[in-house]
């Protein structure tokens, strides 16, 4: 599958549509989910054009992979939900059809601020 340049997160990265930004560096952009499922619901996306976690794992550079994982921790700290600063959270990536992925640009959901509940409904 080819990366779709018109997906909503690509537009956010190009600043064609706004987002409620939490954090940005060379590797990631993080912003609040428009339709929060928990008290805190943030998204962390890589700046590179990757469709999903499999595409990212296969094709991203080592720097990009480290940058994304470090970015998740930086955002969790900023939100006060990391395991050292707060009470923890769930990081979740939906992958393709059976994973329920709607936006075809890799993103991690960070859910927290309250007990997140059952892992799979
Ligand atoms: P997924 O089902 O894993 O692809 O999740 C896509 C997520 O993107 C959903 O939780 C949506 O609420 C969220 N979303 C869609 N459009 C926007 C937007 N413009 N800004 C922030 N979050 C968005």
Edge-to-edge strand list for the sheet holding 108-112? 21-24, 28-32, 40-46, 108-112, 89-92
| Token pair of 89 as six digits | 């959270």
Give the Å distance between the CA of 69 and the centre of ligand 1: 20
Closest ligand 1 atom, residue 32 Cα = 21
DSSP for 71-119, written as a single string: HHHHHHHHHT-STTTSS-EEEE---HHHHT--SSS--EEEEESS----S
Taking residues 61-88, what's their average pLDDT?
A: 97
107 is known as an active-site residue: yes
Beta bridge pairs of residue 30: 23, 44
Considering the entire predicted model, what is its pTM?
0.98
Q: Which CATH architecture best describes the domain 8-112?
A: 2-Layer Sandwich (3.30)
Please check the confidence at residue 121 and state whether its pLDDT lies above 80: no
The pLDDT-based confidence of 72 (bands split at 50, 70, 90) is very high
Give the Å distance between the CA of 33 and the centre of ligand 1: 6
- The string of pLDDT tens digits covering residues 10-51 is 999 999 999 999 999 999 999 999 999 999 999 999 999 999
Percent of the chain with pLDDT over 70: 100
């Amino acid at each position: 599958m080819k990366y779709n340049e018109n997906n909503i997160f690509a537009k956010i990265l190009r600043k064609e549509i706004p987002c409620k930004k939490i954090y940005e560096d060379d590797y990631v952009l993080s912003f609040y989910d428009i339709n929060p499922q928990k008290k805190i619901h943030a998204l962390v996306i890589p700046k590179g054009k990757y469709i999903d976690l499999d595409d990212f794992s296969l094709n991203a550079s080592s720097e990009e992979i480290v940058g994304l994982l470090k970015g998740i921790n930086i955002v969790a700290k900023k939100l006060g939900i990391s395991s050292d600063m707060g009470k923890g959270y769930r990081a979740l990536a939906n992958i393709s059809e059976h994973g329920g992925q709607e936006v075809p640009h890799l993103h991690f959901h960070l859910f927290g601020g309250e007990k997140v509940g059952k892992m799979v409904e």
